[in-house]
Structure 1
Amino acid sequence: MTLLLLFVVLFTLLLLGYPVAFTLAGVSIVFGYFVFGLEFFNLLPLRIYGTMNNFVLIAVPLFVYMGVMLEKSGIAERLLNTMAILFGRLRGGLAIAVIVVGALLAASTGIVGATVVTMGLLSLPTMLKRKYKAELATGTIASAGTLGQIIPPSVVLVLLGSVMNISVGDLFIGAVVPGLLLVIAYIGFVLVVAMLKPEYAPPVPEEEIREFKQGNFLPTLIKTFVLPMLLVLAVLGSIFAGIASPTEAAGVGAFMATILTLTEGKLTITVLKEVMKETTFLTCMVFIILVGATAFGLVFRGVEGDRILVDFIESAALSPYAFLALVMIGIFIAGFFIDFIEIIFIFMPVVTPIFAVYEMNLLWVAILVSLNLQTSFLTPPFGFSLFYLKGVAPPEVKTKHLYRGIIPFILIQLIMIGLLVLFPELVTWLPSLGKGS
């Protein structure tokens, strides 16, 4: 009854709109006092200190800093303009450019909100001016911007690795194939739409392509691609080659992003202050939620919630895949109401031991959860990515355009989840190859 009351009070307050971090911590402390007595206040600081000692979590502020700094550098804007010209003659070329740039930004930043907003500000007015169908334009931008959930270096994967006690490096490597397959599927969909409905995705006018290619086109092209690729290679290359841990690679990425912004002539005291302020804000949000989740986890185990849950599942005689489906549906629905950080810290510590009892591959489960969160981010009516995009969209783009446009991309996401369930090797093959097995 205590466990049930804990969940009812917590979710009621969350649905009423109270801040997640303080609700999680506050409710847990009140229940902790009644469960443990005053001893709870001796136990909680030790648990929080143990969490704060987690070396992996240092990667979070470093990756956030890297993403925010790259956003300020202006590289994304030039990359999008250049890609649009390169694919210009192709019907749907601008949409394909958006997907490719979204994937590159995901591999450079790993921050979904920043990527969606950046892509929306840069590409949505351009796509509408080029007579793209509003639904196709918004769907492409929202889905491409959300690739940061799965394509490494993803903050989601860093947090999942920390909570589920999995190597973050293995998670990054395991996410490569699903991420690439998603990008290919998105591009394939755009090409099919452009072929069946040419008026939805017209090509860039020939004279505009000629005008852009005049002057220093080749040096611009090289500079446009070399700088972001250097950043991606510095971060992911050092991890995949075994030279650096994800935390060390995050430090390399933060340094490289600063250098790139400097080479672009955008690194000023004002920009540095803005980046520091935004990084501090986002990092504080993550870690305050983590403190609340630590208090919740202590109370949950104190009332033997993990044992009760395991006993319930064993008595229900759920198969491993039935339990996986139950968890995935729960996380998907929760993604409508609360952010991925809270979901990872609330759900995953509870269900991970049960996945371990079922002897399921936790690496594979973590990638499935990451893809599921990405899908939830895109799903109306509460998809966070849709809110981000609507916030920067021109007035003529209505909410109905966003909702209609995203449906095909959600179906692609669901198909990808199904493929990973049927073929776990899509996730496990690359990490096992790296270990020589």
Structure 2
Amino acid sequence: MELFFLLLLIVLMAGALASGFPVAFSLPGSAILTVAIAALTGYLLEGSPDVYFYQGGASNWLSAGVTNFRGVYWEVERDTLIAIPLFVFMGIMLQRSKIAEDLLITMAQLFGPVRGGLGIAVVFVGALLAATTGIVGATVVAMGLISLPAMMRNNYANWLSTGTIAASGTLGQIIPPSIVLIILADQLSNAVDQAGTARQAMYKQATGEFSMPSDFGVVSTSAGDMFMGAMLPGLVLVAVYMVFILVVAFLKKDIAPPVPFEGKYDRKFLAKILLALVPPLTLIFVVLGSIITGIATVNQAGAVGAVGAMVMAGYRLYEGRPRAYWPAILASVSIAATLVITSVFHVNIKAINSNADLIGVILASITTVLFLIAVVWSGWRTFKIDNTMRGVLIETAKTTSLVFIILLGAAMLTAAFRGFGGEELVKEFLHGLPGGFWTQFIIVMTVIFILGFFLDFIEIAVVVVPIVAPILLADPTANVTAVWLGVMIGLNIQTSFLTPPFGFALFYLRGVAPAVVKTVQMYKGVVPFIALQLLALIIVGANPALVNYLPLRMSLLSETAPPPANPRLQACIEDYISEEFAENGDAIQSAIASAQNWDMTGVPKNVAKSVQDALKLAAEAPAALAEVRTAAQAIEAAAPAYRPLQQEVRALERQLDDNTEATDSTKQRLSRLERNSPDDESGIAKAKADLEELAAERAALTAAIPAEWKDAQAAFKKVLLEEKKASGTYRRNVDSAYEPIVVFARILRGGEQLSALRGDVAGLENVIRTAEPEPLEEAFKDIESRVGEVESAGDIRSALSKARRAMRSGGSNVPNPDEAIQLLQEALQILDQEVAWRTEAAGRLLADVEAYQSAISNTIGLRQQERLPRDVALFVASCNSGHRDISLHF
């Protein structure tokens, strides 16, 4: 019966959408009706409203709906959705202020004289508008009204003109900032949690271990990561469009002829180009640049974009009148002044410690007020001229409300789909496909592509992604990142705007195209661009670095970069070190050999031994890393024979899991029948027969497991364990080979610090003789703290603590100044000894120690650095941007 209600859910949703009923109500409405019918039927026929649900029941579905409602609207962790109205406002404001129109006209004049130049201009402007607006309808309509007549006048083929305009107008779905990328990031954040739990369970079942290594976890994403990940694929798509237009124009001269520019390429024309290009490019740089560099979150960047669009609209709407550019100039000057002030002064109103700080705060306050005046001035213009502000706000409210209502409705639909076992059916279907992850992925992408013929991008993103993404992300075979999966889905979803019969870009263009342009020509025109989108999809799918590299690069170079000891980075760090050993191994070994000849005379035995042990381990590091590489090669050699057997057994184990779930469900059904309907002999007999059939199926599945599996698994686990031991040994060795050298350098430099502290330590004798207990305690603790900051000065600090305790009163303790002074003298004696040997050894060894530390810091000592050096970070980002198969560990 669960299957019946699942089918009813799909039929109701499809029927509502096909009838033209609003999507925002079709999704939740079909879920509510199906759940109500299932609950009522179960109550009437079985006496329980939950009997026809695969998991939970109507009450569980309702609580899931409340949870999803809270998640969409109230959870702080999902505040990324706040960026949606900000970017929508930014896009509509730029479109209504006719900045997009200026850009189109100017670029057409610039590129027109080249064969296919008008088409190139449309694609170029489409990409720029995508990076500033992201509103497909507005972009297609604007370019259709401006470019299509110009292209028709200059004898461009109608199919090429309409296809170029429609396809370029959809670039806003993949080029950031994009609403669909924000929605995908939000949906994938939940999918990552589910996938991580599933992979953890998979690892536990396969290995018996409760804790899974963190580097096997599912890599999450955010809206900022999605923006960075989509940037290169978006540019690839733009390049593919341009190359296609140029090739077509070259092969068929009459399809896209050159358009001579009637004016002059003079300073006036250059100024016109700069005025049209610089403001949008500046806005793109500020919005995306602030996200990429980590200066601003996606929400903050959206607010910056909205304000920037309003300032730009303020001068464009006022064009031709006196003082048109004054608000924009005031805003620009105040921002520049603020940047200068914050670079010169320490601007923090809570930490004013000097007159300079006060001056900085005052100046920054003045520039901030000036900037606010410019913003209000621009906003007033947009409010008064053509009622622009009101129209933009209304459209923003409509679009944002639509997105959020669809999000909520889709969450209700997804909860119902899961409640009737739909997710398990999808999982069983995908897992049952031959070919593993990539077959599953291709099937999913094909389904999304087909759904794009009938559904909008939002419905696909919020209905399909929550169901299939956890399954794909949990698979350890490809171990894809969430950002890569999100960008691939985003590229695929983009085709939904072009695919007939419901391609929205076609509808937008049809609404503004003249009657002479036939609908058939528009359909013909988008076909090659749909093929180009699929080509771009294949290119990005085959080259995951196009997506993963930028987010990884920015993460590893940011202020919050993970430390080099992070488990996810180790494989690539070891690749880097292997290359360094191969190229510069002789120099590193020479530095180690030279260090082993250091004259350690006068250095305490424990310190000298620590250094000598570290040098010994450093000399062994290349061999230890070679053992890691040998163990990894052993895994690669054993994998071809083991992998097919592992895949066969894992497939049987999944079927056994399904059998277990079906058996438990059937037992519950039998128990319910025996309890509530003891007279239903046929139903009880059917349930018992089903249990016998499931038991027979389980026995057959168990028998199908190859006899050699346990021995093969044990042998391969031994190979994996050897690699794990070799890696652990190498990492412990290099850590132990570097840290003592760092400590030794600090010890040697500590001689000067201790020497500077001697007078203060000696002055404690007067404190002992004259000070009251409380000031004495504070004085001693202050000196102890300063001594404690010196490396390996614990003996001195311990002696000082004993002296302080000798002066402590209370309880059975009586202050003993003589004992305290004696202990203080002991502390001074230790201090003098430490200063003497450290100073003498530093003069002889410190320069050599620092040179040696520098020589090994980026190889043997790399894991101990606070952050990766830039060249290493770039190497690791490139290395990690591919996908690594980890299925052999499961």
Same-fold status (TM-score > 0.5): yes
2:289 is aligned, of 237, 242, 263, to: 237
Secondary structure of the equivalent of 1:328? helix
* Structure 1 residue 178, shift from structure 2 partner: 1.0
Match of 2:311 among 237, 243, 259: 259
SS of match in other structure, 1:209: coil
Aligned to 1:431: 551
Structure 1 equivalent of residue 331 of structure 2: none
Q: Partner of 2:480: helix, strand, or coil? A: coil
- Number of matched residues? 434
* 279-288 vs 1-10, which moves further: 1-10
2:299 paired residue among 226, 243, 247: 247
Indicate the structure whose relative CO is greater, using CA pairs within 8 Å and at least 6 residues apart.
1
**Preserved CA contact (<8 Å) 1:131 1:201:** yes
Tell me if structure 2 keeps the 8 A contact 1:79–1:225. yes
Select between 272-281 and 190-199 the one with higher mean Cα deviation.
190-199
Q: Please list, as runs of the form range in 1=range in 2, the aligned pairs for 1:3-22 lying within 5 A after superposition.
A: 3-22=6-25
Alignment CA distance shift 1:12-1:180 (3 Å): same
Structure 1 position 40, deviation (Å): 4.7
Task: Check the 8 A contact 1:355/1:362 in 2, yes or no.
Answer: no
| Counterpart selection for 1:413 from 533, 537, 547 | 533
The equivalent of 1:369 in structure 2 is 489
In the alignment, the residues of structure 2 paired with residue 42 and residue 151 of structure 1 have an alpha-carbon distance, to the nearest angstrom, of: 37
- Match status 1:69 vs 2:93: yes
Structural mapping, 1:379-398, within 5 Å: 379-398=499-518
Alignment partner of 1:278 is 2:401: no
* Amino-acid identity (%): 46
Which residue in the other structure is 1:191 paired with? 246
Runs in 1 of length 4+ with deviation above 4 angstroms?
38-43
Over the aligned positions, Cα root-mean-square deviation in angstroms equals 1.8
* Secondary structure class of the residue paired with 2:409: helix
Q: Where in structure 2 are the equivalents of 1:205-244 lying within 5 Å?
A: 205-206=260-261, 208-210=262-264, 213=265, 216-244=268-296
Are 1:332 and 2:452 an aligned pair?
Answer: no
**Deviation for aligned residue 1:41:** 4.3
Q: Is the 8 A contact 2:61 2:419 kept in 1?
A: no
Distance 1:299 1:381, change over 3 A: closer
String of CA shifts for 1:318-352, please: whole Å, max 9, x gaps.
51111111111111111111111111111000011
Q: Which residue of 2 aligns with 1:111?
A: 135
**Match runs of 1:78-89 below 5 Å:** 78-89=102-113
In the alignment, which residue of structure 2 is the partner of 1:146? 170
Query: Quick one: which of 142, 156, 169 aligns to 2:180?
Result: 156
Q: Distance in 2 between matches of 1:338 and 1:394?
A: 27
Name which of 20, 24, 35 aligns with 1:32. Answer: 35
In structure 2, what is the equivalent of residue 299 of structure 1?
A: 416
The answer for the alignment partner of 1:353 in structure 2 is: 470
SS of 2:254's partner is helix
User: Take 1:369 and 1:43, find their aligned partners in 2: how far apart are those partners?
Assistant: 26
Residue 104 of structure 1 aligns to which amino acid in structure 2?
L
CA distance in 2, matches of 1:40, 1:366: 27
Change (3 A) 1:215 1:282: same
Mapped to 2, the partners of 1:380 and 1:299 lie a distance apart of: 29
Q: Give the structure 2 partner of residue 49 of structure 1.
A: 70
Tell me which amino acid in the other structure corresponds to 1:262: G
1:368 Cα deviation (Å)? 1.1
| Residues 89/289 of structure 1: CA separation in 2 closer, same or farther (3 Å cut) | same
Measure how far apart 1:167 and its partner are: 0.9
Question: What TM-score results when the alignment is normalised by the length of structure 2?
Answer: 0.47
**Distance (whole Å) between structure 2 residues aligned to residue 421 and residue 205 of structure 1:** 40
Q: Is 147-156 or 413-422 further displaced after alignment?
A: 413-422
Tell me which moved more, 39-48 or 19-28: 39-48
Q: Does 1:403 align with 2:523?
A: yes
**C-alpha displacement of 1:268:** 3.4
- Matches of 2:537 and 2:16, distance apart in 1: 32
1:288 corresponding residue in structure 2:
405
- CA distance, structure 1, for counterparts of residue 529 and residue 455 of structure 2: 21
Q: Are 1:88 and 1:209, in contact at CA under 8 Å, matched by a contact in 2? A: no
User: Which amino acid in structure 2 is aligned with residue 220 of structure 1?
Assistant: K
Mean Cα deviation higher: 298-307 or 415-424 = 298-307
1:39, CA displacement in angstroms?
Answer: 6.2
Instruction: State the alpha-carbon separation in 2 of the partners of residues 173 and 318 from structure 1.
Output: 31
Residues 92 and 138, structure 2, Cα contact 8 Å, conserved in 1: yes
Instruction: Give me the whole-angstrom Cα distance separating, in 2, the residues matched to 1:141 and 1:276.
Output: 27
In the alignment, does 2:428 pair up with 1:311?
yes
Higher mean C-alpha displacement, 419-428 vs 319-328 = 419-428
Cα distance in 1 for residues equivalent to 2:435 and 2:16: 31
Letter in 1 for 2:239: I
CA displacement at 1:12 relative to structure 2: 2.5
Distance apart, 1:392 and its partner CA: 0.7
Q: Letter of the 2:263 partner, please give it.
A: I
Query: Is the CA contact 2:159–2:524 (under 8 Å) kept in the aligned structure 1?
Result: yes
Unpaired stretches in structure 2, ≥5 consecutive residues: 40-49, 51-56, 190-220, 319-381, 557-876, 878-890
Q: What's 2:26 paired with? A: 23
| Larger displacement relative to structure 2 (62-71 or 74-83) | 74-83
Partner letter of residue 411 of structure 1? Answer: A
Equivalent-residue separation in structure 2 for 1:421 and 1:47 (angstroms): 32
Question: What do residues 385-407 of structure 1 show as CA deviations (whole Å, max 9, x unaligned)?
Answer: 11111111011111111112222
Q: Deviation per CA, 1:282-316: give whole Å up to 9, x if none.
A: 11111111111121122233334333432343344
Q: Distance in 2 between matches of 1:83 and 1:314?
A: 50
Measured in 1, the distance between the counterparts of 2:164 and 2:8 equals 42
* Mapped contact 2:433–2:439 kept (Cα < 8 A): no
Tell me how far 1:79 sits from its aligned partner.
Answer: 1.0
How many angstroms does 1:142 deviate by? 0.8
Post-superposition offset of 1:76: 1.1
Contact 2:122/2:165 (CA < 8 Å) preserved in 1? yes
Amino acid at match of 2:71: G
The equivalent of 1:170 in structure 2 is: 225
SS in 1 for 2:172: helix
**Cα distance in structure 1, aligned partners of 2:177 and 2:410:** 23
Structure 2 match to 1:99: 123
Q: Deviations over 1:48-85 (max 9, x none)?
A: 01221220111111111111000011111111111112
Q: Return the offset for 1:219.
A: 2.4
Shift in alpha-carbon separation, 1:41–1:430, aligned structure 2, 3 A: closer
| Unaligned 5+ runs, structure 1 | none
Query: 2:514 is paired with a residue of what secondary structure?
Result: coil
Q: How far apart are the structure 2 equivalents of 1:50 and 1:413?
A: 33
Q: Partner of 2:257 in structure 1?
A: 202
